[in-house]
């Protein structure tokens, strides 16, 4: 289940598994196994995360969770600046692309 929320997240997911920030990597399509600017990629987090809080800073980002469809500047779900996406499911299927230069993506991983 994916939800976007620009209000406070009411209930934090259970066990924290790690954090990552992606900045320069968003020039092309990335997934959460891409090495982040700081923190841990999905592959190097502790535990087996199945939930994430994903926040977009500076510029909008597009995302898909269909392995057959990469996001483009016009295709994919739009994650607006300062919005939090709460995603539950197979995190390895998520793909992201910045809509304009200088986008930053913050990701906190959880196992619920």
Number of domains within the chain: 1
Backbone angles phi, psi at 12, to 5 degrees: -70, 140
The pLDDT value given to residue 4: 54
Q: Which domain CATH number covers 71?
A: 2.60.120.10
Give the pLDDT band of residue 3 (cuts 50, 70, 90).
Answer: low
pLDDT of residue 55: 97
Task: Give the torsion sign (CA, 9, 70, 48, 21).
Answer: negative
Residue 12 reports pLDDT greater than 60: no
pLDDT (tens digit per residue) in 20-78: 999 978 788 999 999 999 999 999 998 899 999 999 999 999 999 999 999 999 999 99
Domain that holds residue 50: 2-6+14-111
**Residue appearing with tokens 């739009």:** 78
Q: Is 88 exposed, middle or buried (0-12, 13-18, 19+ CB in 10 A)?
A: middle
Q: Cβ–Cβ contacts within 10 Å for residue 19, how many?
A: 15
């Amino acid at each position: 289940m994916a939800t976007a929320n620009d209000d406070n997240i009411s209930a934090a997911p259970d066990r924290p598994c790690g954090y990552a920030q992606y900045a320069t990597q968003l020039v092309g399509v990335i997934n959460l196994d891409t090495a982040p600017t700081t923190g841990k990629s999905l592959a190097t987090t502790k535990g087996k995360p199945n939930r994430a809080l994903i926040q977009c800073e500076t510029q909008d980002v597009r995302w898909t969770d269909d392995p057959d469809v990469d996001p483009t500047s016009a295709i994919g779900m739009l994650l607006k600046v300062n919005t939090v996406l709460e995603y539950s499911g197979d995190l390895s299927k998520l793909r992201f692309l910045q809509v304009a230069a200088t986008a930053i993506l913050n990701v906190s991983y959880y196992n619920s």
